[in-house]
Amino acid sequence: MADALTAHAFADFAAPMTSEKTFQLAGRPAKYTVLYFYPKDNTPGCTTESIAFRDLHDQFVAAGAEVYGISRDSLKSHENFKSKLGLPFELISDPDEAVCTQFDVMKMKNMYGKKVRGVERSTFLVDAEGRLVKEWRGVKVPNHAEEVLEFVKNLA
């Protein structure tokens, strides 16, 4: 099963991100790229998750991984969220859901008894060639960033 996962390579894509930069999957300089998809800036779970990745950021970098958050929020919203939380990594804006669709994170969810379409909290670890190393879907926020970090450290 692991071979089937690692054999999957994502198509290259470019998307706007904070700090007036553009994210490009191909040619990432780091050994690994962590892409965490989250529903919405400034919501409790997404804030907690982003803070956890922020607090472990130096350890991710030391383990050879770059971290990026992705949601459908606008760049303006991302810039405010990044600044408010002091995030040391960039946030990717995907308002047209192109990246979310490629990673298959758009799902029907229940919100206050109503069916709504939204981002399923998910994290993907991709190697320098754009191949999937590991995915976490339906993520629960507590201890998630730590789990991802442990996995990355064990690859070294």
152-156 mean pLDDT: 90
Answer yes or no: are the C-beta atoms of 49 and 38 closer than 8 Å.
Answer: yes
Query: What does the alpha-carbon distance between residue 114 and residue 112 come to, in Å, rounded to a whole number?
Result: 6
Residue 100 bears catalytic tag: no
Q: What is the pLDDT of residues 60-83, one digit of tens each?
A: 999 999 999 999 999 999 999 999
User: Model's pTM, two decimal places?
Assistant: 0.92
For residue range 83-127, list pLDDT tens digits in order: 999 999 999 999 999 999 999 999 988 778 888 888 999 999 999
User: What does the pLDDT read at residue 18?
Assistant: 97
What pLDDT is recorded for position 29?
80
Q: Which residue in 63, 53, 57, 62 sits closest to 143, CA to CA?
A: 53
* Distance of alpha carbon 70 from alpha carbon 37, whole angstroms: 5
pLDDT of residue 4: 40
Q: DSSP assignment, residue 11?
A: P
pLDDT digits (tens, 9 = 90+) for 10-28: 888 999 999 999 999 988 8
Q: What is the number of domains present in the chain?
A: 1
Residue 7, pLDDT above cutoff 90: no
Which residue is catalytic, options 34, 46, 99, 105?
46
Domain, as residue range, for 87: 2-23+30-155
- Determine the 3-state secondary structure of 93 from DSSP: strand
What is the CATH classification number for the domain harbouring 132? Answer: 3.40.30.10
- Binning pLDDT at 50, 70 and 90, where does residue 30 land? confident
Closest to 95 (Cα-Cα) out of 116, 79, 119, 71: 71
